[in-house]
Structure 1
Amino acid sequence: MSFKELVFSGVQPTGNLHLGNYLGAITKFVTLQETHDCIYCVVDMHAITVWQDPAELTRNTREVTAAFIAAGIDPKKNIVFNQSQVTGHAELAWVFNCVARMGWLNRMTQFKEKAGKDRENASVGLYVYPNLMAADILVYRATHVPVGEDQKQHLELARDIAQKFNNDYGDSIRGRGFGDVFFPLPEPIIQGPATRVMSLRDGSKKMSKSEPSDYSRINLTDDADAIAQKIRKAKTDPEPLPSELKGLESRPEADNLVGIFAALDHKTKADVLRDYGGAQFSNFKSALVDLAVTKLGPIGGEMKKLVQDPAHIDAILADGSERAAKIADENMKAVKDIVGFVRR
């Protein structure tokens, strides 16, 4: 069975959106809307796998939505909504809890990282998080998902769940006229030279809002002075920039800054090294400051303006949720019939 191409992706509303979120996800969303039908979700149900202050969760949900719009995502052309407004996500997640195997979830490295040593005290939601992620994608029967390297394992699990559902219920699927499969096996979309943006203080660690130093990241709401200061203080080494890619292999901080420049300027790392190879970091950082302020400044300004009008953001989310629910509800009716649930 052939499926209409549809992109799904989501961002957690956990506060302090930064350059890593922007380059690793949001810029890809903006590009994909030119070539695909897209559904972009603020995944607030995923956020509560660890405790969230309710007022902050509301604020952060609106901030992520504002970032989507400020970065150039068109909420009329695409569907933009928050996950908890569409009940199909939770309904399909339960079905997938009964399809996925314990051994599959035990192999998920992100649970081990997030739960740490005190796994017995982690929420069940954190453990079955990958099943909900699979439901997020497959409740729309999406075919493509833009993912970072750290999410590839979860997408592989979504494919395994889809395959097992199709196999387990094959006769029922065929009997209802869906051909041999009901769910597609979603494909990853990994684009661009900076899909994984690292800390400005330590090139071996991913840029994160949880790192204590605010100088480790550029927040999307930082003003021009803050952006400039953080780039100038970013950790580097004493050597000039290399002229070839292989020269970056043992220099994680240099590799990170070149990757950031490349992504912001829509170039490859090789292009950047052709322009700046042999230059001292002080000169390169000055150019990166100018580029980052030019690209990120307007986004931060628009975000700040949008979050001052929560009613406008809520209207965007309500409209998107209504449109998303129409797709999800139809697919859930089919899932319930396939599984054998009696429904209205």
Structure 2
Amino acid sequence: MPEQTELCWLLASVTAHGDLNRMHQFKEKSDAQRELVSAGLFFYPVLQAADVLAFRCDEVPVGEDQRQHIELMRDIAERFNARFADGEELLTVPEHSIPQVGARIMDLQDPTSKMSTTSASEEGTVYVLDQPEQIKRKFARAVTDSDDPPRIAFDPSKPGVSNLLDILGACKGITPEEAAAELADARGYGDLKGAVSEAVTELLAPVRERYEQIRGDEAQLEAILARGAQRAREIAEVTVGEAKAAMGVGPTG
């Protein structure tokens, strides 16, 4: 929606260059894109802030890797309110909602790197629409360690095993330590991988089924998206209008 882009530009007036330069994801991605580190990549956190602030969201569910982005978003909203709204909360200052378990899921093939759709290997990433046999294969090939005998424990020195326990805990609503305790009688890492595979498959099954139902009626899906976009735009139009009025930019009549 154009309102998000417009608000992004308005928010630039209260966004510090130094803050953007310190963003962890910018540093990581710019290191990987040495041939062209685009201004869009540098400025993306401001657009992300506009995506949230335009709709007056008060809570944003994110993973641990997005904590810094939410903190910047809060800073931008607070600066805008202080500078242009006499301290009133014209822009809602959002809180982050980060889960206690599963806040940072790691790549199955490289448990020192975050699981991502842009991973070098698809075998390291589980997709929401993966079929059960794909999920089973990916977890069967997940990296663990060479401890002999195998030790199933949530331990920083065991990133592969700890990642699997984190995933299992997130799926079952328990802590990784509790997940490890449930596998106290496991015969080895194969049992751990099987338990995680089963839990993930069970968790994603209703999501995949619902997706297939929705995709079966393209016209209804498009209608739902159109209604949602209209509702969202109505909210964003008010936010942008109030922000422009507070800044004294744009038409006044």
Q: 1:277-325: per-residue Cα shift (whole Å, max 9, x none)?
A: 3522122222223222222234234324433543332222111111111
Matched, 1:128 2:43: yes
Q: Quickly say closer, same or farther: Cα 1:155–1:284, change in 2 above 3 A.
A: same
Cα distance in 1 for residues equivalent to 2:108 and 2:37:
30
Q: 1:165-207: per-residue Cα shift (whole Å, max 9, x none)?
A: 12222xxx35xxxx73322322111113111111111211111
TM-score for the superposition, normalised by structure 1:
0.67
Cα distance in 1 for residues equivalent to 2:104 and 2:208:
21
Q: Secondary structure at the match of 1:121?
A: coil
Show the counterpart of 2:26: 111
Q: 1:77-132: per-residue Cα shift (whole Å, max 9, x none)?
A: xxxxxxxxx32211110101122121221111211222226557233221111111
**Counterpart contact for 2:132–2:201, Cα < 8 Å:** yes
Cα distance in 1 for residues equivalent to 2:2 and 2:252:
15
Show the counterpart of 1:240: 150
Show the counterpart of 2:90: 182
Matched, 1:318 2:226: yes
Cα distance in 2 for residues equivalent to 1:232 and 1:117:
29
Q: CA deviation at 1:261?
A: 0.8
Q: CA deviation at 1:226?
A: 1.4
Cα distance in 2 for residues equivalent to 1:141 and 1:292:
33
| RMSD over aligned Cα atoms | 2.1
Q: CA deviation at 1:215?
A: 1.6
Cα distance in 2 for residues equivalent to 1:158 and 1:266:
29
Show the counterpart of 2:191: 283
Write the letter of the residue equivalent to 1:191. Answer: P
If asked which structure has higher relative contact order (CA below 8 Å, sep 6+), I would say 1
Q: 1:137-180: per-residue Cα shift (whole Å, max 9, x none)?
A: 111222211121211111111111112112222xxx35xxxx73
Alignment of 1:1-344 (within 5 A): 86-116=1-31, 121-169=36-84, 173-174=85-86, 180-237=88-145, 238=147, 239-242=149-152, 245=154, 248-279=155-186, 280-341=188-249, 342-344=251-253
**Counterpart contact for 1:241–1:276, Cα < 8 Å:** no
**Counterpart contact for 1:105–1:130, Cα < 8 Å:** yes
**Counterpart contact for 1:242–1:278, Cα < 8 Å:** no
Write the letter of the residue equivalent to 1:291. Answer: A
Cα distance in 1 for residues equivalent to 2:224 and 2:80:
34
Write the letter of the residue equivalent to 1:272. Answer: A
Cα distance in 2 for residues equivalent to 1:291 and 1:334:
47
**Counterpart contact for 1:221–1:301, Cα < 8 Å:** no
Write the letter of the residue equivalent to 2:100. Answer: G
Structure 1: any 5+ residue segments left out of the alignment? 1-85
The answer to which of 292-301 and 222-231 deviates more is 292-301
**Counterpart contact for 1:144–1:188, Cα < 8 Å:** yes
TM-score for the superposition, normalised by structure 2:
0.89
Cα distance in 2 for residues equivalent to 1:158 and 1:165:
11
**Counterpart contact for 2:8–2:47, Cα < 8 Å:** yes
Q: Secondary structure at the match of 1:212?
A: coil
Say how many residue pairs are matched.
249
Q: Quickly say closer, same or farther: Cα 1:293–1:180, change in 2 above 3 A.
A: closer
Structure 2: any 5+ residue segments left out of the alignment? none
Q: Secondary structure at the match of 1:210?
A: coil
